Structure 1
Amino acid sequence: MKRAVIPSYFHCLRCHNPFMGFSPKCLSVNFSSSLCSTDARPFPDYSPRKPSVKDSDFVHHISTTVKQRCTEPLRRILKPFESKFKPDHLIWVLMNIKDDYKLVLDFFNWTRFRRDPSLEALCIVVHIAVASKDLKMAHRLVLEFWEKPHLDVGNSFAQFTERLIYTYKDWGAHPFVFDVFFQVLVEAGLLLEAEKLFDKLVNYGVLVSVDSCNLFLARLSNSFDGKKMAIRVFRKYPEVGVRWNTMSYNIILHSLCQLGRIKEAHNLLIQMDFRGSFPDVVSYSVIINGYCQVELIGKVLKLLEELQRKGCKPNQYTYNSVISLLCKTGRVVEAEQVLRGMINQRIFPDNVVYTTLISGFGKSGNVSAEYKLFDEMRHKKIVPDFVTYTSMIGGLCGAGKVVEARKLFSDMFRKGLEPDEVTYTALIDGYCKAGEMKEAFSLHNQMVERGLTPNVVTYTALVDGLCKRGQVDIANELLLEMSEKGLQPNVCTYNAIINGLCKVGNVEQALKLMEEMDLAGFYPDTITYTTLMDAYCKMGEMAKAHGLLRVMLDKGLQPTIVTFNVLMNGFCMSEMLEDGEKLIKWMLEKGIMLNAATFNSLLKQYCIRNDMRAATEIYKRMYAQGVLPDNNTYNILIKGHCKARNMKEALFLHKHMVEKGFSLTAGSYNALIKGFYKRKKFLEAKKLFEEMRTQGFVAEKEIYDIFVDVNYEEGNWENTLELCDEAIEKCLVKKTSLFIDTL
């Protein structure tokens, strides 16, 4: 049973005096036409059918009996009257006992257990309940009527409204009764009837409370068309005297944002101050979330500043929206700063916030930050759910740490969490990217055994993995299997095949497949063109790459930063560094947001040329443009400085990258170890060598030779033999097996 919403206030339409509590100014004259204006229609005088002399005696006898024996059960004392009791008797008895509310309810319940009361009698009891301040009972009685099965809504609405108005003047004359009826109509989903009631009451000079109007707005806002109707009602009702409050505005702000009319919502927020309804933290949060949805970070930050300037604290909803947007736009470090600010304000983040950040750091390849947040969650007794685990697994797989991802996957089962298709697909994709197709297909089979259905994304991951290994024929067979299962390949699937064909150097076939895509209605996208451009760039055919870019632009496809980075990489591989520098300048002039990968290609080429001065200048320019280095940036520079014997710079960069949560690659470990060894810094070299082995990286044979000799000279026979075995296993055996695989 839903409780009635007790209105905070409502207005007399004639004098606009607010009715507060249960002693409104105009109630004493029952809204008669002699009030503030004669425009409103008077309520009708109540005149029930008069009883006969015989009925009068019978009613008097019942009334006297129930009053005198009120402590006894009605069931017993009214037993003698049951056979002669008629529906009209109920109303006549109520006239005699209406001042005793408990007795009214008891008598009404006694009669309705025998037969349904008339609509007039029901409305009378509702009036008495409201006059007795029992809104909950009034609400329940009205709701029970409207919950009757097979109710003819149209006729019932007309009859109930007519009876409620007809009985109003002599049975309580309290306007809250209309609020109760209005609320029940709204809760029952009879929104058109609620609006008709509102309009009808306006004719009698009564407005339902703003709380009830808010309930109406909120219910309308549950559907797309309803939102539009809510906005219409919001504009219309002030014309007849409704005074909207902050909650009313918040409902409409939310509706406007959900309809994509964010600018209109923002203007309404500004107008609130001038209309006497001051915006609160919810008002601002709604607009902030609206701007977050369309990724206008500048507007979001301005509104946050304005909110705090007004002395309001952002709530969890506000923080969640901002963190989500920052993660979505790749500004994960700033998102974490917002999280820390949230905690400082003693607003405690939930599972969703942590999962959003974990996913953001996962996409940026910052695994250590992922683990830090994951551990922080568990320390704060915030239980990670399967979405959190899936985000962690996706991030680890994206960073190539499939072994760690598999451990977390197993941990899910131990915690009683069931992975879904998304979890399995994330891990399958990780194995495919690592080239471990046997494990990927094993997981695919396990997924099917558990009753989960692989989707297009799952198959696309497998196809992509096969194509990257040059197994395009097997990938095509998988496409056939996919079609047999009723799954339609999408653009991503075709892009995976095109990428595979480009990998094996069959660019001509890839171009043909792109034409087939076009004919089949799977229109090539930016990724399709970028993949083919990359193939041409790697072949040194920059003119053809430019040609594809022109075709792409002619078709109205917008190049992404990846497209430009492919061109940059092409220029660098073709040793056209001046063209690369020109491309960066052009991108900045056009307002294209650069990322670390844009600069990494140039950095790599300058490091290969041993021109560390130019590489350092590029690194400084990155910071000047607000582009933060990524894992690859640090590893390129460390290897470059090691090669140039700038070990002090290499060590500084290593320390800096660790602080940022990035990690060395096997190549960087090898470069640092060799660099330290050549500078006779044996302890530093040894420490890095042990760290490298702990991380599971394979050192070069030259590195093993160094430490085998060192341990031999120091007389550490056990360590010498262990390193010899490890070198044979990891350097010689693996090379031999790779050689056999190529035969």
Structure 2
Amino acid sequence: MKRRTSIITYLHRFHQYQFLSATAAASFSTTPRPFPDYSPRNPSVTDTDLIRHVTTTIKRRRLEPFRRVLKPYESRFKPSHLIWVLINIKDDYQLVLNLFNWVKSRSQQQLHPTLESLCIVVHLAVASNDIQTAKRLVFEFWATPRLDVSKSFDLFTERLIYTYKHWGSHPLVFDVFFQVLVETGFVLEAEKLFHKLLGYGVVVSVDSCNLFLSRLSGNFEGIKIAVKVFEEFPELGVCWNTVSYNIALHCFCQLGKVKEAHNLLVQMEHRGNFPDVISYGVVVSGYCKIGELDKVLKLVDELKRKGLKPNEYIYNNIILLLCKNGEVIEAEQVMREMRKCGVFPDNVVYTTLISGFCKSDNFSVACKLFDEMRHKKIVPDLVTYSSVIHGICKTGKMVEAREMFNEMFVKGLKPDEVTYTALIDGYCKAGEMKEAFSIHNQMVQKGLTPNVVTYTALVDGLCKNGEIDVANELLHEMSRKGLQPNVCTYNTIVNGLCKIGNITQAVKLMEEMDLAGFYPDTITYTTLMDAYCKMGEMAKAHELLRVMLEKGLHPTIVTFNVLMNGFCLSGMLEEGERLIKWMLEKGIRPNATTFNSLMKQYCIRNNMRATTEIYKSMHARGVMPDSNTYNILIKGHCKARNMKEAGFLHKEMVEKGFSVTAASYNALIRGFYKRKKFVEARKLFEEMRTHGLVAEKDLYDIFVDVNYKEGNWEITLELCDEAIEKCLVKET
């Protein structure tokens, strides 16, 4: 048995009840008909006597429990008597309520309030400004399962209209009824009520219509109808407010019509409704979802000019978009601006930023944000910890990752499949397969089910260890457990085969994928191209690119970076530069990795002029340098003895939160020392040690000698011990 008319039913029947029918428009524009006069049947002499006694008794003894006061009349009191008594006491609302509740409490003795008496009490409740009780009474009626919803609606509506003129005459009663219908899911009946009331000259309030819009916008089809309602209801007398416009803006954005939403935002003021921060927030969110950052920033400037302050929702969306675009430094700057404006970042903002920095391999900043988050008493959740663990695993620091994993249990958090998979993947990438399988077993014991991503991580680890046969066995285990290997799983094995130099087997597996219906994708082809490029077989790499394009697969930036790396390794730097020009002509934007490959090779050739030109070209095209860019440039300038430029790059790199590699530190220290910049060299040496990086043996020799000559015996011995511990010299 159906309790209510579902949204889907409503949508299917929508064509039967057009919101802007000619009849409805006509009924609104013509003179409304009057509400009927209320005329209950007259009581008999016997009934009159009983009604008089009950009325007198409850008025005189109003403070006593009705159960005791009306005990003598209980057997003779019928539902029809209730209405007659209500006529006598309608000006005493509390008495009305007490009597009605008493009748309801006697329902087991077959003394049920009639629908008419229920509507009367609802009217009196609204007239007495007791909206909560009125709504509860109507809700109780509509929350009861009923066989014929349409018949119940007609009866209730007819009784509510019939009793209106005599018992309350307050139009808010229809708002109460309309809202209950919407809230209980009877949207079709709510729409019918709206049009029926138009005939009596009553227009449901804008707040009730807003509730109706919100209810409709719960699914895709409903959203389209909500937009139609928004466009057509004003012709029926509804005056939309800012809340209404905000709902409509949200609907347009949900439909992917962000430009239409923006146009509506502009029109709001012309229609007498001023957009608020929520209005802007909805459109900002819409543009963020489609990646239109420029439009977002213009909207934020506009709302600021109008004296509005961006709220947490707007900042969160901008930060999320920037992180998705890999612009994490800019995202962090937005968070700092957010603070200055008095809007304080929450768990979501910090987690988004932490995840963004981890994905961009800038783990030092991610850790800093995680510590800052805890310092500010913002509690990290499961997603935060999972992001940090994933970031730590990417750096290969598995001891720290395991400590963070154990900390989750201490904090009362239960790692999920994502967390376990991140840790398993970390151990696999570190080559610690025993630990990876141990975590896998622990995961299963906790009642969690390893998914395809988990098994793919294990397969990847086995392949990197050269255990291709064991990886294949794991694939069979997946199948036995009902998990279907996907293209990613096969790509992992292809990658593993390429890593151990078995390209023939990798090509064969790719052919098998095709036959099995797991069609090789861009990643499959790019992986094989990378293997050929590293072997210097550029012709085969080009052939694979041709086949890939013939199959309708689109190369990614990674594909082009693989080709660039191949050109550079083969010494074909001019071809590499031509590749960048071709990419730009085709509208494909190179990233930092594309330029890094070229700069690295020019640095190796000690051609810093060409390197600098490429770096400038990179900046001119809006491509932000990454940590690898800085490390390449620093080592190149140190080798060319351009220590001033190398020092500047080091400073800029640290300010942006990138990690300096041991090789860069070694080059900087050695370069400054040779140029007799001893203070700078010493400072960098200490900085390097602070970060836990190992200097080369000759640098330890230099600073051991320096400290020995200065009489710094303690530091001298410390450096000697450190050199021995790091296995840089043999202990004699």
Fold in common (TM above 0.5) = yes
Tell me whether 1:195 sits opposite 2:194 in the alignment: no
Tell me whether 1:726 sits opposite 2:725 in the alignment: yes
Tell me whether 1:314 sits opposite 2:313 in the alignment: no
User: C-alpha displacement at 1:547, in angstroms?
Assistant: 2.1
Counterpart residue number, 2:5:
none
Counterparts of 2:690 and 2:481 in 1: how far apart (Å)?
Answer: 44
Equivalent residue runs for 1:75-224 within 5 Å: 75-114=67-106, 115-150=111-146, 152-224=148-220
Counterpart residue number, 2:437:
441
Counterparts of 1:407 and 1:232 in 2: how far apart (Å)?
Answer: 56
Counterpart residue number, 2:16:
none
Equivalent residue runs for 1:544-693 within 5 Å: 544-679=540-675, 685=681, 688-689=684-685, 691-693=687-689
Counterparts of 1:215 and 1:206 in 2: how far apart (Å)?
Answer: 18
1:389, 1:412 within 8 Å by CA — same for their partners in 2? Answer: yes
1:253, 1:286 within 8 Å by CA — same for their partners in 2? Answer: yes
1:674, 1:703 within 8 Å by CA — same for their partners in 2? Answer: yes
User: C-alpha displacement at 1:36, in angstroms?
Assistant: 11
Provide Cα deviations, 1:333-390, integer angstroms capped at 9, x if missing partner. Answer: 1111211121111111110011101111111111222122112212221111121111
Tell me whether 1:358 sits opposite 2:357 in the alignment: no
Describe the shift of the 1:560–1:163 C-alpha distance in structure 2 as closer, same or farther (beyond 3 A).
Answer: same
2:456, 2:489 within 8 Å by CA — same for their partners in 1? Answer: yes
| Secondary structure class of the residue paired with 1:46 | coil
1:66, 1:74 within 8 Å by CA — same for their partners in 2? Answer: yes
User: C-alpha displacement at 1:603, in angstroms?
Assistant: 0.9
Equivalent residue runs for 1:494-513 within 5 Å: 494-513=490-509
Provide Cα deviations, 1:494-517, integer angstroms capped at 9, x if missing partner. Answer: 111111111122222222222222
Counterparts of 1:51 and 1:620 in 2: how far apart (Å)?
Answer: 99
Equivalent residue runs for 1:692-711 within 5 Å: 692-700=688-696, 702-703=698-699
Counterpart residue number, 1:279:
275
Provide Cα deviations, 1:48-94, integer angstroms capped at 9, x if missing partner. Answer: 12211221222223223333343443333322222211111111111
Counterparts of 1:730 and 1:408 in 2: how far apart (Å)?
Answer: 31
1:572, 1:605 within 8 Å by CA — same for their partners in 2? Answer: yes
Paired AA for residue 229 in structure 1: I
Tell me whether 1:68 sits opposite 2:60 in the alignment: yes
Paired AA for residue 351 in structure 1: N
1:711, 1:719 within 8 Å by CA — same for their partners in 2? Answer: no
Describe the shift of the 1:711–1:442 C-alpha distance in structure 2 as closer, same or farther (beyond 3 A).
Answer: farther
Describe the shift of the 1:229–1:125 C-alpha distance in structure 2 as closer, same or farther (beyond 3 A).
Answer: same
1:698, 1:730 within 8 Å by CA — same for their partners in 2? Answer: no
2:28, 2:198 within 8 Å by CA — same for their partners in 1? Answer: no
Counterpart residue number, 2:10:
none
Describe the shift of the 1:379–1:720 C-alpha distance in structure 2 as closer, same or farther (beyond 3 A).
Answer: closer
Counterpart residue number, 2:523:
527
Counterpart residue number, 1:24:
none
User: C-alpha displacement at 1:688, in angstroms?
Assistant: 4.5
Moved more, 608-617 or 149-158: 149-158
1:463, 1:475 within 8 Å by CA — same for their partners in 2? Answer: yes
Moved more, 183-192 or 638-647: 638-647
1:367, 1:395 within 8 Å by CA — same for their partners in 2? Answer: yes
Counterpart residue number, 2:4:
none
Equivalent residue runs for 1:317-332 within 5 Å: 317-332=313-328
Counterparts of 1:524 and 1:305 in 2: how far apart (Å)?
Answer: 46
User: C-alpha displacement at 1:647, in angstroms?
Assistant: 3.3
Paired AA for residue 211 in structure 2: L
1:708, 1:723 within 8 Å by CA — same for their partners in 2? Answer: no
Counterpart residue number, 2:388:
392
Describe the shift of the 1:437–1:713 C-alpha distance in structure 2 as closer, same or farther (beyond 3 A).
Answer: farther
User: C-alpha displacement at 1:121, in angstroms?
Assistant: 0.8
Describe the shift of the 1:573–1:196 C-alpha distance in structure 2 as closer, same or farther (beyond 3 A).
Answer: same
Counterpart residue number, 1:425:
421
User: C-alpha displacement at 1:259, in angstroms?
Assistant: 2.4
User: C-alpha displacement at 1:690, in angstroms?
Assistant: 5.1
User: C-alpha displacement at 1:652, in angstroms?
Assistant: 2.8
Paired AA for residue 476 in structure 2: L
Counterpart residue number, 1:245:
241
Paired AA for residue 430 in structure 2: A
Counterpart residue number, 1:485:
481
2:28, 2:236 within 8 Å by CA — same for their partners in 1? Answer: no
Counterparts of 2:28 and 2:670 in 1: how far apart (Å)?
Answer: 96
Structure 2: runs of 5+ lacking an equivalent: 1-26
| Secondary structure class of the residue paired with 1:311 | coil
Counterparts of 2:587 and 2:45 in 1: how far apart (Å)?
Answer: 95
User: C-alpha displacement at 1:718, in angstroms?
Assistant: 4.5
2:28, 2:201 within 8 Å by CA — same for their partners in 1? Answer: no
* RMSD value, Cα: 2.5
Moved more, 463-472 or 349-358: 463-472
1:322, 1:335 within 8 Å by CA — same for their partners in 2? Answer: yes
| Secondary structure class of the residue paired with 2:74 | helix
Counterparts of 2:33 and 2:382 in 1: how far apart (Å)?
Answer: 62
Counterpart residue number, 1:368:
364
Describe the shift of the 1:731–1:356 C-alpha distance in structure 2 as closer, same or farther (beyond 3 A).
Answer: farther
2:93, 2:128 within 8 Å by CA — same for their partners in 1? Answer: yes
Counterparts of 1:540 and 1:636 in 2: how far apart (Å)?
Answer: 23
Query: Which of the numbers 409, 415, 429 marks the counterpart of 1:413?
Result: 409
User: C-alpha displacement at 1:243, in angstroms?
Assistant: 1.2
Moved more, 570-579 or 397-406: 397-406
Counterparts of 1:698 and 1:662 in 2: how far apart (Å)?
Answer: 18
Paired AA for residue 499 in structure 1: N
Counterpart residue number, 2:23:
none
Describe the shift of the 1:37–1:710 C-alpha distance in structure 2 as closer, same or farther (beyond 3 A).
Answer: closer
Counterpart residue number, 2:250:
254
Moved more, 402-411 or 317-326: 402-411
User: C-alpha displacement at 1:617, in angstroms?
Assistant: 2.2
Describe the shift of the 1:195–1:448 C-alpha distance in structure 2 as closer, same or farther (beyond 3 A).
Answer: same
1:712, 1:720 within 8 Å by CA — same for their partners in 2? Answer: no
Counterparts of 1:706 and 1:441 in 2: how far apart (Å)?
Answer: 45
User: C-alpha displacement at 1:97, in angstroms?
Assistant: 1.3
- Aligned residue pairs, count: 698
User: C-alpha displacement at 1:484, in angstroms?
Assistant: 2.0
Moved more, 494-503 or 45-54: 45-54
2:533, 2:566 within 8 Å by CA — same for their partners in 1? Answer: yes
2:723, 2:729 within 8 Å by CA — same for their partners in 1? Answer: no
User: C-alpha displacement at 1:222, in angstroms?
Assistant: 1.8
Moved more, 205-214 or 299-308: 299-308
Provide Cα deviations, 1:617-638, integer angstroms capped at 9, x if missing partner. Answer: 2222222222222111121122
Paired AA for residue 222 in structure 2: G
| Secondary structure class of the residue paired with 2:75 | helix
Describe the shift of the 1:153–1:647 C-alpha distance in structure 2 as closer, same or farther (beyond 3 A).
Answer: same
Equivalent residue runs for 1:43-58 within 5 Å: 43-58=35-50
Describe the shift of the 1:434–1:284 C-alpha distance in structure 2 as closer, same or farther (beyond 3 A).
Answer: same
User: C-alpha displacement at 1:572, in angstroms?
Assistant: 0.9
Counterparts of 2:66 and 2:500 in 1: how far apart (Å)?
Answer: 93
Counterparts of 2:687 and 2:342 in 1: how far apart (Å)?
Answer: 39
Counterparts of 1:306 and 1:108 in 2: how far apart (Å)?
Answer: 56
Paired AA for residue 569 in structure 1: N
Paired AA for residue 671 in structure 1: A
Structure 1: runs of 5+ lacking an equivalent: 1-34, 734-743
